[in-house]
Each structure stands twice: as structure tokens, then as C-alpha cells.
Structure 1
Amino acid sequence: MKNNYEISLLVIRLVLGVTFVLHGIAKFEMGLTNVAGWFESIGLFGSLAYVVAFIELFGGIALILGLGTRVAAFITGSVMVGAIVTAKLSAGFLGGYELDIALLAMAIALVVSGSRMFAMESKLFSENEKITPVSNH
């Protein structure tokens, strides 16, 4: 049963990671200057486009690798909240923020539960490793 739970979280982590990597790459391919111009056109700081592009690309890579999963999910989820509030909410659910809310829900699931299956962090920081206090004897 626990294995099914971990498989589900792995699927969520990989799909979310790949989605963010592809969105990050797309922003770089469009040219960050163009993306910054679009950000400014909707009333945001253009420099925020650079931050978002890096978060999407590197946050997605971190999710795929399972490195800092909860942190990466929180940060990418925050990008989704920003996208919904600033650009998508006025368009409504269908054709507006439907994808963003699904990605946000996936991110929340990972923040709450993590994902250890095939995750680098589970190899680097094994739960079986206990730190023992140094004795003064």
C-alpha cells in the first residue's frame, strides 16, 4: 500500500517537474527580454520574468531529480499562485487558470507529502542515518 502511495507521488513529481522545465525552456527560447516585456504589459516588473524563468527551469529540474522536493514544489507552486492572481483569474477557469490550479494542487501535494521514490534527496539524506551525540567519556 505504501508503495502505491510513493508511486503516485513519483508520478506527480515527474509530471510537475517536466511541465515546469518545458515552460522554463520556452521562456528562454522566446527570449527573456520578450517575456519581460509581456510581464510589464500586464503591470508586473519585467525583471520578474527572469526570476520566473529560472524558477521554472531549475525548480523543474530539482523536482525531476527529487532534490529539495518540498522546497521546489513550494516555490513553483508560488509561481502558479502569482500566475493565477496576476494573469489568469480574469479569464475564468476554462481557458484561464485551469492548468495553473492543477499544477498548484500537484505542488501542494508534494509540499505536504514529499516524494522519496527515486529521489536524490532520499539517497543523500537517508532516514536510516541517525546522528549520534558525541560522548565526553
Structure 2
Amino acid sequence: MNDNRTAPWAALILRLALGILFLAHFGLKFFVFTPAGTEKFFVSLGLPGALAWLTMAVELAGAIALILGIYSRIAAVVLIPILLGAIFTVHGPAGFFFTNPNGGWEFPAFWIVGLIALALIGDGKYALKPTTVRG
């Protein structure tokens, strides 16, 4: 049973936390590694360089959508493949624990769980475009 008094606040907190995480990871790729460096890293993994640009664009757009509450459910689902890609190309081979060299897959997997939970819960409070189904 949902507590209708607190569930919208929980969804808001989850939406903001996930959005801020994606914004931080976009910022890392864009400002620290630089787009050219991120592209070079993707190529070193055997991926097309253009995928780096697509990843950054999806991370930025998804972060903004989550933070502002614009089609949050859709944004959450669209962001899952980004994390699956991170697991299967970088973090999966490093093992489970994120403290392993090159980071394990536990953090991106838990991040996916958060996105799935948000997709199921909906926007919560203060969303610009609520997508929560009301019954």
C-alpha cells in the first residue's frame, strides 16, 4: 500500500538524485575528459566514436528531464541502456565491487534499479510534466 502523503516526495527525491548523478557523469565526460577524450575512450573499447557523443547527449537530456520532471518515466527508461553499456563494456569485466580497479558493476546496476523504480513510481512532487497515472 502506498502512503499518498509521502510517496510523491520519495519520487521527487529519487528523481533529483538520479538526475544529478547523470548530470555529474555528463560533466565528467564533457569538462574533465573532454568530448574528444571521451570519444577516444569509446574507440579504445571498440565502440564507434559517435556513440560517445550520443551517450553525452542522452545523459544531459535525461538529467535535465529527471531534474525538472519532464516525462520522467520515459527519461528513466531511455537512460537504462547507457548504464547497461557501461556495465558490459567497462565495469562488468572489472568484477562486482565498484571499489575494484576500473570500478565493478554494482553501482551502475543499482543505478538501473533506481531508474526502474522511478519509471514505476512516476514523477512525484514539483514535476513540470507529470506522467503519474492517477487511479
Q: What's the TM-score once normalised by structure 1's chain length?
A: 0.85
Contact kept in structure 2, 1:55 and 1:76, CA below 8 Å: yes
For 1:108, which of 111, 116, 126 is the aligned residue? 116
The Cα of 1:84 is off from its aligned counterpart by 0.7
Instruction: Mark the runs of 5 or more structure 1 residues left unpaired by the alignment.
Output: 129-137
- 2:101 is matched with none
Identify, as 1 or 2, the structure richer in helix. Answer: 1
CA-to-aligned-CA distance 1:35-60 (integer Å, 9 cap, x gap): 01101111111110001111111110
In the TM superposition, residue 116 of structure 1 has moved relative to its aligned partner by 3.0
Conserved 8 A contact 1:36-1:50: yes
Structure 2 contact 23–59 (Cα < 8 Å) conserved: yes
Of 118, 133, 136, the residue aligned with 2:126 is: 118
- Say yes or no: does 1:98 pair with 2:106: yes
Change (3 A) 1:60 1:126: closer
Name 1:134's counterpart in structure 2: none
* Letter paired with 1:47: A
Q: CA deviation at 1:28?
A: 1.1
- Give distance in 2, aligned partners of 1:77 and 1:34: 23
Spell out structure 1 runs of 4+ moving beyond 6 A: 125-128
What is residue 7 of structure 1 aligned with on the other side?
A: 9
Amino acid aligned to 1:110: L
Give the secondary structure class of the aligned counterpart of 1:56: helix
1:44 to 42, 47, 60: 47
2:29 aligns with: 27
Of all paired residues, the percent bearing the same amino acid is 33
| Counterpart residue identity of residue 50, structure 1 | W
Indicate the SS of the match to 1:2.
Answer: coil
Across the two proteins, how many residue pairs are aligned to each other?
126
Equivalent in the alignment of 2:88: 85
Q: Is the 8 A contact 1:22 1:57 kept in 2?
A: no
